[in-house]
Amino acid sequence: IADLAVADGEDDGGVLIVLKGEGGESLVIAIGLAEATAIAKELQELEFSRPLTHDLMRDIVDTLGARVDRVEILELRDGTYYAELVIVDSGGQTRRIDSRPSDAIALALRTGSPVFADEQILIQDDPEAQEFPPATDKESWKKILEGMTPEDFGKYKM
């Protein structure tokens, strides 16, 4: 995946994540607000006072002497994308862990790991297709995140 952007999505607060491939192909995945926040935090290099879930995941992987080798988005089944984290453990064994693409991408951004997608689920670039807006700038995301309340997370709030 060569590029990644976040665009306004569904009316219910959902967000679309747009992954652009090196050959012009793309993949658009609908994700939730919490996952979009985790991804935007890394894209915009925002600092929070406490670690988010994906920061904790990165720290656990590091502490155990493992590394995230890559993320693979494997298939689209019944409207849901499936991905795997490919992790190399401290003994050099490769482990594959089922993951939602949004969580895997958020972790990959934190570890500098590449994201791959199966060719069969990629959409080839169409010059006639609608362009998605670029990722929101850092200041806009900062304002959005600073203005959020627990109620904004709906059923995902703690």
- The full set of domains in the chain, from first to last, is 3-152 (3.10.690.10)
- Residue pair 86/94 in contact (Cβ under 8 Å)? The answer is yes
| Whole-number pLDDT of residue 131 | 47
| Whole-number pLDDT of residue 116 | 93
Mean pLDDT value of segment 47-52: 89
φ, ψ dihedrals at 152, nearest 5°: -65, -20
72 has pLDDT over 70: yes
The angle formed by the CA atoms of residues 146, 147 and 152, to the nearest 5 degrees, is: 115
pLDDT band at 122 (very low <50, low <70, confident <90, very high): confident
| Whole-number pLDDT of residue 97 | 98
Which is higher by pLDDT, 52 or 85? 85
3-state secondary structure of 2: coil
| Whole-number pLDDT of residue 133 | 42
pLDDT band at 26 (very low <50, low <70, confident <90, very high): confident
| H/E element, 7 | strand 3-8
Which residues are 129's β-sheet partners? Answer: none
- Residue pair 107/58 in contact (Cβ under 8 Å)? The answer is yes
Cα→Cα distances 129→26, 79, 102, 133, Å: 11, 21, 24, 13
How many angstroms separate the CA atoms of 130 and 133, rounded? 10
User: Burial of 69 by CB count in 10 Å (0-12 exposed, 13-18 middle, 19+ buried)?
Assistant: middle
Strands (DSSP E) along 12-158, which ranges? 15-20, 26-31, 67-77, 80-88, 94-99, 115-117
Q: List the strands of the sheet with 94-99, edge to edge.
A: 94-99, 80-88, 67-77, 115-117
158 has pLDDT over 70: no
